[in-house]
């Protein structure tokens, strides 16, 4: 049984991250965390909250280190998103960063042991261990894509290195006017290996621009990120962006979870397959999913010109 404390009226809630000095304030319906289904803190690098009954907010929360991705972060993301995937209350996720900026990428201090001094008695064993580490790090962001709930990422200030890997695994990218993006890996002597080189070309239409960003590690600012399609909306500041992200999340959460989650799974499948393969996949998918009661409920609401916000869909 889920024990939610549902407050009746919109409240102004503050970011729960204790170390976050620049508190973002959003007008939302505050709901307590699920005692069974939701992600189970304590996480040391992620702050998880429920701004509404069906929305989970995950915030990377090491503001004093500019949200650098330390060892704990790489593991906690996997636990967190696996739990969200299994949480039948949650329909949409909003992801953001605490403090001055979104993230400064991999923790350059913490990189040392895993990557710079890998264990092993000979080249083969050392290489095998490095491979294991990279596989584990890749899962940190792949888990976002594997989670069937749409993930809206809200980016302010800098989004560097691993941050670009992270956001390209998300479904919808929003940013503030002061945001900038940097595929920084070449500057620290490596080819990006946890998603940017694989996903960014599928996000941005121009292969030439992807190559330029990856080879030069130059900063790309919000306006260019919008014009090339990396983000779909630019907001004047973080508060407005968070309010916009939560409003969008609320809109998505009001729709049939069978329809929304099926849409995410099939969009990702079709990105990676030919049109005939993807048509075959959705055919098989929908031969069961079209039998949902949500179809009739949604169609009836459309006929009666009712908002989907007034329709109750079962948990999924």
Ligand X SMILES: CCC/C=C/C=C/C(=O)SCCNC(=O)CCNC(=O)[C@H](O)C(C)(C)COP(=O)(O)OP(=O)(O)OC[C@H]1O[C@@H](n2cnc3c(N)ncnc32)[C@H](O)[C@@H]1OP(=O)(O)O
Binding site for ligand X (CB under 6 A): 65-66, 68, 100, 104-109, 115, 134, 137, 158, 160-162, 184-185, 188, 193-194
Q: How far is the CB of 163 from ligand X (least distance, A)?
A: 7
Exposed, middle or buried: residue 137 (CB in 10 Å: 0-12, 13-18, 19+)? buried
- CB nearer ligand X, residue 107 or residue 145: 107
One of 106, 152, 160, 167 is an active-site residue; which one? 106
Compute CA distances 24 → 48, 77, 96, whole Å: 14, 22, 11
Identify the burial level of 115 via C-beta atoms within 10 angstroms of its C-beta, where 0-12 means exposed, 13-18 middle and 19 or more buried.
middle
Q: How far is the CB of 198 from ligand X (least distance, A)?
A: 13
* 162 annotated active-site: yes
Q: Given the residues 145, 165, 171, 294, select the one marked as catalytic.
A: 165
Between 144 and 246, name the residue whose CB sits nearer to ligand X. 144
C-beta of 7 vs 188, nearer to ligand X: 188
Is there a catalytic annotation at residue 106? yes
CA distance 174 to 297: 31
Whether 64 is a known active-site residue: answer no
CB of 45 to ligand X, least distance (A): 12
Q: How far is the CB of 118 from ligand X (least distance, A)?
A: 11
Closer CB to ligand X, residue 113 or residue 288? Answer: 113
Nearer to ligand X, 42 or 189 (CB): 189
Minimal distance, residue 150 CB to ligand X, in Å: 25
122 is annotated as an active-site residue: no
Exactly one of 53, 79, 178, 193 is catalytic; name it: 193
Residue closest to ligand X, measured at CB:
161
Query: What is the C-alpha to C-alpha distance for residues 251 and 308, in angstroms, rounded to an integer?
Result: 9
The answer to whether 196 and 185 are in contact (CB under 8 A) is yes
Which residue, 16 or 100, is less far from ligand X as judged by CB? Answer: 100
Task: Say which of 145, 185, 195, 294 is annotated catalytic.
Answer: 185
Of 38, 97, 105, 162, catalytic = 162
Quote the tokens at residue 314.
């079962």
Q: Produce one character per residue of 221-243: b if its CB has 16 or more CB atoms within 10 Å, e if not.
A: ebeebbebebbeebbeebbebbb
Query: Using alpha carbons only, what angle is made at residue 186 by residues 103 and 220, rounded to the nearest 5 degrees?
Result: 55
**What's the half-sphere exposure (Cβ side, CA atoms, 13 Å) at 125?**
4
Q: Minimum Å distance from CB 103 to ligand X? A: 8
Closest approach of ligand X to the CB of residue 171, in Å: 21
For ligand X, the closer CB: 162 or 250: 162
Catalytic residue check, 310 = no
Q: CB of 163 within 8 A of CB of 105?
A: yes
CA distance 200 to 222: 16
Active site residues: 106, 162, 165, 185, 193
């Amino acid at each position: 049984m889920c024990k939610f404390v549902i407050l009746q009226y919109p409240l102004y809630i503050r970011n729960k991250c204790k170390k976050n000095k620049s508190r973002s304030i959003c007008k939302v319906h505050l709901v307590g965390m699920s005692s069974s289904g939701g992600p189970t803190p304590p996480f040391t690098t992620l702050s998880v909250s429920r701004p509404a009954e069906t929305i989970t907010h995950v915030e990377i929360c090491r503001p004093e280190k500019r949200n650098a991705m330390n060892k704990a972060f790489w593991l906690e993301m996997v636990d967190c998103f696996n739990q969200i995937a299994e949480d039948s209350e949650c329909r949409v996720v909003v992801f953001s960063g605490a403090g001055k900026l979104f993230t400064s990428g991999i923790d350059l201090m913490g990189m040392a042991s895993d990557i710079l001094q890998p264990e092993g008695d000979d080249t083969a064993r050392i290489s095998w261990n490095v491979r294991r580490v990279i596989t584990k790090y890749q899962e940190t962001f792949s888990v976002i894509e594997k989670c069937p709930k749409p993930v809206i990422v809200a980016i302010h200030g800098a989004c560097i290195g691993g941050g670009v890997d992270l956001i390209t695994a998300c479904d919808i990218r929003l940013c503030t006017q002061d945001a900038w993006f940097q595929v920084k890996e070449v500057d620290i002597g490596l080819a990006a290996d946890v998603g940017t080189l694989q996903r960014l070309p599928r996000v941005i239409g121009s292969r030439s621009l992807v190559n330029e960003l990856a080879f030069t590690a130059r900063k790309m600012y919000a306006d260019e990120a919008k014009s090339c399609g990396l983000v779909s909306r630019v907001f004047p500041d973080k508060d407005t962006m968070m309010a916009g992200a939560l409003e969008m999340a609320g809109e998505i959460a009001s729709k049939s979870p069978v329809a929304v989650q099926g849409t995410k799974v099939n969009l990702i499948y079709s990105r990676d397959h030919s049109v005939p393969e993807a048509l075959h996949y959705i055919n098989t998918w929908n031969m069961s999913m079209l039998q949902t009661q949500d179809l009739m409920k949604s169609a009836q609401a459309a006929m009666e010109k009712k908002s989907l916000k007034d329709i109750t869909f079962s948990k999924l």
